[in-house]
Amino acid sequence: MKLLVPVKRVVDYNVKVRVKADNTGVETANVKMSMNPFDEIAVEEAVRLKEKGVATEIIAVSCGPTAAQEQIRTALAMGADRGILVEHDGVLEPIAVAKLLKALIAKESPDLVVMGKQAIDDDMNATGQMLAALMGWPQGTFASKVEIADGSATVTREVDGGLETVKLKLPAVVTADLRLNEPRYASLPNIMKARKKPIETIKPADLGVDVTPRLTVLRVEEPAKRQAGARVASVQELVEKLRNEAKVI
């Protein structure tokens, strides 16, 4: 069984994100970049499936700049077998990534796509769902448990009301939630082995996909600073302020 695991290059979760001075986006120059944490969970799940003998090959894919090779290498060090970089500088919206992945699926014929439920940079939470729709495949999103048997995947999903279990006929798309597993940290021998694993680089045009953005970002701003609170001397004063200043009662 072949697995495809898309991984995204994002600003590291420890970095305090700053808005660019011209308000066109967030600052990524000289900022530490890492693999999207939900994608790490997806890679870990894929590697565990391989270790259990369920999967035979894991392909890590990243759509993004040349430097996204680093995130593919991280996936390879964790245990993926080979990588594909769909090289593109500039904005890639979820629909564009979903179309790129669809084109790769046509080439690679994986039985399962495991990916993060969302990326921590734009929190779109859309690519997995869009890919499933484009493919006409079943989807198991927000997975906290995945079991593969007899050509289907049983996925436990974290939904608002609790846990929902769905059974998907393969091929399918599964998106990983936080509690699916705890990703490993690659050891030095595996980091060294990863350097020797192949990464193929292709362009969106090679896949016949138009990745032109459909949306225009008008302006990016910091969240408003929280105003300091005020102390009141009595309940009466509080009610008075709520009524006349805050105008909430």
Partner 1 sequence: MNDGMPARAGEAEFAEYLENVRRLVDEVLIPAEPRLEGQETLPEDLTQRLREMGLFGISIPTRHGGLGLSMEQQVRVMLEVTRASSVFRARFSTTIGLGSQPILYNGSEAQRAEWLPRMASGEVTAAFCLTEPEAGSDAGGVRTTARREGSEYVLDGVKRYITNARQADVFIVMARTDLETRDASGISAFIVPAGTPGVSCGPADRKMGQDGSATSEVLFQGVRVPAENLIGGREGGGFKTAMRGINHARLHVAVTCAGQAERLIQETLFHARNRRQFGQALAEFQMVQGRLADMRAETLAARSMILETARAFDAAGEAQGPIIADIACCKLFASEMVGRVADHAVQIHGGAGYMRGTAVEQLFRDVRLFRIFEGASDIQRLLIARDMIKERNAR
Q: Which of residues 176-195 bind partner 1 (CB under 8 A)?
A: 184-189, 191-193, 195
Cβ distance to partner 1 smaller for residue 32 or 167: 32
For partner 1, the closer of residues 188 and 248 by Cβ is 188
* Residue 140 amino acid letter: G
* Residue numbers 195-234 binding partner 1 by CB under 8 A: 195
Q: What is the CA 22 to chain-centroid distance, rounded?
A: 27
Name the packing angle between helices 127-135 and 94-108 (round to 10°). Answer: 50
Q: C-beta of 192: minimal distance to partner 1 in Å?
A: 5
If the CB atoms of residues 159 and 185 are measured against partner 1, the closer one turns out to be 185
User: How far is 76 from 197, CA to CA, in rounded Å?
Assistant: 7
CB of 197 to partner 1, least distance (A): 13
Closest approach of Cβ 154 to partner 1, in Å? 26
Count of residues that interact with partner 1, criterion CB under 8 A: 13
Nearer to partner 1, 105 or 194 (CB): 194
| Binders in 87-116 for partner 1, by CB under 8 A | none
Retrieve residue 127's tokens.
Answer: 């690519």
Of the pair 24, 187, the CB lying nearest partner 1 is at 187
- Find all residues with CB under 8 Å of 246, minimum gap 6, and list them: none
Q: Mark residue 123 as left, alpha or beta (left: phi above 0; alpha: psi -120 to 50; beta: remaining).
A: left
The CA–CA distances, whole Å, from 38 to 1, 108, 236 equal: 22, 23, 50
| Among residues 77, 92, 135, 148, the one that binds partner 1 under rule CB under 8 A | 77
Measured distance CA(89)–CA(6) in Å, rounded: 17
CA gap 217, 54 in Å, rounded: 43
Instruction: Name the CA dihedral angle for 210, 20, 24, 218, rounded to a multiple of 10 degrees.
Output: 130
For the CB of residue 38, give the shortest distance to partner 1 in the complex, in Å: 15
- Give min distance, CB of 184 to partner 1, in A: 7
Is 48 a binding residue for partner 1 by CB under 8 A? The answer is: no
- The DSSP-derived string for 190-241 is HHHHHTTS-EEEE-GGGGT-----S-------PPPPPPPP---SSHHHHHHH
**Measured from the CB atom, is 189 or 223 closer to partner 1?**
189
Cβ closer to partner 1: 23 or 187? 187
Q: From the CB of 70, what's the least distance to partner 1, in Å?
A: 9
For the bound state, the minimum distance from the C-beta of residue 54 to partner 1, rounded and expressed in Å, comes to 21
Q: Which residues bind partner 1 (CB under 8 A)?
A: 73-74, 77, 184-189, 191-193, 195
